[in-house]
Chains A and B, each alone.
Chain A
Amino acid sequence: MTERFEPRIVGFLCKWCAYTGADLAGTSRMKYPPNINPIRVNCSGRVDPTLVLKAFASGADGVLIAGCHPGDCHYTNGNMKTIKRFKLLQNLLDQFGIERERIRLEWVSASEGERYASVVRSMTEEIRNIGPLNWKRSMEVIA
């Protein structure tokens, strides 16, 4: 029997909304796949594209950036900076051949535990369908 592929997803969650939302999902005992490794950041606008590239280069199959809904940013407009960066980053990753399913930007408020769980569920499934990225291994064997 072949083992089911378990994607490794790195999640950059903003402290004020998405991380609190994730916390709510946990304390409410909602079920969602354990494939995400959440990293708490102060703001989604703080997620330097370097971190995303580094995650992929070090073996992540997907990266989730989640922050406050537009208009709700704790720092007024940090998440607007995130959108701008994200759109440029998406175009860049297209060119590198990294599928769009592997990188997501989602808005999750502190009260949206269920939304967080469903984002992680659908992202895990989508990435499971397209398979592993294996960037690290393919970079090791490049000749």
Chain B
Amino acid sequence: MTKPKIAFNWASSCGGCEIAILELGTKLVELKDKIDIVFWPAAMDFKYSDLESMPDQSIDVTFFNGAIQNSENEHLAQLLRAKSKVLVAFGACAYMGGIPALANTKSKEQIFDSSYKETPTTENPQHVIPQPKFQAPEGELTIPELYNTVKTLGQVVDVDYSVPGCPPVGPQVEKVVGTFLSGELPPKGAVLGASDKSLCHECKLEKTDRRVAKLVRTYETIPDPKKCLLEQGIVCMGPATRGGCGAICMDANNPCKGCYGPLPNVVDQGAKMLSALASILDADDEETIQKLADGVVDPIGTFYRYGLAKSLLRRTKQ
């Protein structure tokens, strides 16, 4: 029997998803005997030309992490789609845009201005900013072009499965890999390696029916490590987020930031969290309600930290 051919790719992401694969540890060594890794730029020496020379549909499963933020990301997405039988959006960035998609609150020009002109540590008196093409004496040089709007993998090519998480946690990665090795594939479009219930179902913190009279940000308080963080006034995305991660952020006394994405049949994760938060605000007059609402200082960064590209509005108005 031939071993299944597997590919991994890294687009616009931090590399944490690659670490999530390494988290398999010694199991990765055992896995090596069961699969054939045909492309994995982060860990092994492969060139894009190697990939281009493969026949179409020759890769059994591709795990693609990272959002689509430049022309190189998009090229690789299309190339891997053509070469793979199954394409998996692996991790929050490929699935929902992730942290890179917060760039959708700015335009490309604003990002360049901030990175190459305005930051105090930037020394760039000639205001040089990257150009996709440059005519050097030796010939034309090109670099990938940055896009104005970050997209999810699914907004660029057809995606078969998604694995949420920033990054997907080790035990879930193992389970997902096991699913593919078993050959029994779930229905197309399924979200793998996560639960169908909200994070609150697996969170061990004590929940009562308390409402909140004041919202606080994490740096402003030291929460009681036994009680529900939301009830302590910290915006925790738990109610609007899929479980499956094991509520590990709560173990570190940190609120959920939503990296496992929306629950099944939810269109917009941020809208659901906004709704859930509104229902526990303890106020009855407009002024107090306004004050409480203003307690969410950065609504997009709070409700759409990982999901802006996949949300209904997708980016801010330009």
Question: Once bound together, how far apart are the Cα atoms of A54 and B314, in whole Å?
Answer: 11
Cβ of B117 < 8 Å from any Cβ of A? Answer: no
Question: Once bound together, how far apart are the Cα atoms of A41 and B274, in whole Å?
Answer: 20
Q: Among B105, B266, B278, which residue has its beta carbon within 8 angstroms of that of A95?
A: B105
A window 60-110: CB within 8 A of B = 80-81, 83-85, 87-92, 95-98
Q: Please indicate the chain A residues that have their CB under 8 angstroms from the CB of B148 in the complex.
A: 142-143
Question: Once bound together, how far apart are the Cα atoms of A92 and B302, in whole Å?
Answer: 10
Q: Please indicate the chain B residues that have their CB under 8 angstroms from the CB of A1 in the complex.
A: none
A96→B317 contact, CB < 8 A: yes
- Count A/B pairs, Cβ under 8 Å: 95
A142→B149 contact, CB < 8 A: yes
Q: Which segment, of A27-35, A45-53, A113-121, faces chain B? A: A45-53
Count residues of A near B (Cβ-Cβ below 8 Å). Answer: 29
Q: Please indicate the chain A residues that have their CB under 8 angstroms from the CB of B93 in the complex.
A: none
Size bin of chain B's contact surface = 35 or more
B314→A85 contact, CB < 8 A: no
| Majority DSSP secondary structure for residues of A touching B | helix
Cβ of A24 < 8 Å from any Cβ of B? Answer: no
A84→B312 contact, CB < 8 A: no
| Majority DSSP secondary structure for residues of B touching A | mixed
Cβ of A12 < 8 Å from any Cβ of B? Answer: no
Cβ of B78 < 8 Å from any Cβ of A? Answer: no
B279→A87 contact, CB < 8 A: no
Q: Please indicate the chain A residues that have their CB under 8 angstroms from the CB of B272 in the complex.
A: 48-50
A142→B317 contact, CB < 8 A: no
A85→B312 contact, CB < 8 A: no
B279→A81 contact, CB < 8 A: yes
Question: Once bound together, how far apart are the Cα atoms of A143 and B74, in whole Å?
Answer: 11
B271→A53 contact, CB < 8 A: yes
Q: Please indicate the chain A residues that have their CB under 8 angstroms from the CB of B313 in the complex.
A: 53, 56-57, 96, 135, 139
Q: Tell me how far the C-beta of B101 lies from the nearest C-beta in chain A, rounded to whole angstroms.
A: 12
Cβ of A122 < 8 Å from any Cβ of B? Answer: no
Q: Please indicate the chain B residues that have their CB under 8 angstroms from the CB of A142 in the complex.
A: 148-149, 314-315
Q: Which segment, of B58-66, B171-179, B284-292, faces chain A? A: B284-292
A138→B293 contact, CB < 8 A: no
B window 137-186: CB within 8 A of A = 147-149
Q: Among A52, A84, A98, A143, which residue has its beta carbon within 8 angstroms of that of B147?
A: A143
Q: Tell me how far the C-beta of A87 lies from the nearest C-beta in chain B, rounded to whole angstroms.
A: 4
5 contacts between A and B (CB under 8 A): A50-B267, A52-B271, A54-B268, A84-B292, A92-B274
Binding site for A on B (CB under 8 A): 105, 147-149, 266-268, 270-272, 274-275, 277-279, 281, 283-284, 286, 289-290, 292-294, 296, 298-300, 303, 311-318
Contacts A50-B272, A96-B317, A139-B313 known; 18 new A-B pairs at CB < 8 A:
A49-B271, A49-B272, A49-B275, A50-B271, A53-B268, A57-B313, A80-B284, A81-B279, A84-B279, A87-B289, A87-B290, A90-B293, A92-B299, A95-B105, A97-B316, A97-B317, A98-B317, A138-B317
5 nearest CB pairs, A to B: A97-B317, A87-B293, A84-B278, A85-B278, A49-B271
Binding site for B on A (CB under 8 A): 48-50, 52-54, 56-57, 80-81, 83-85, 87-92, 95-98, 133, 135, 138-139, 142-143
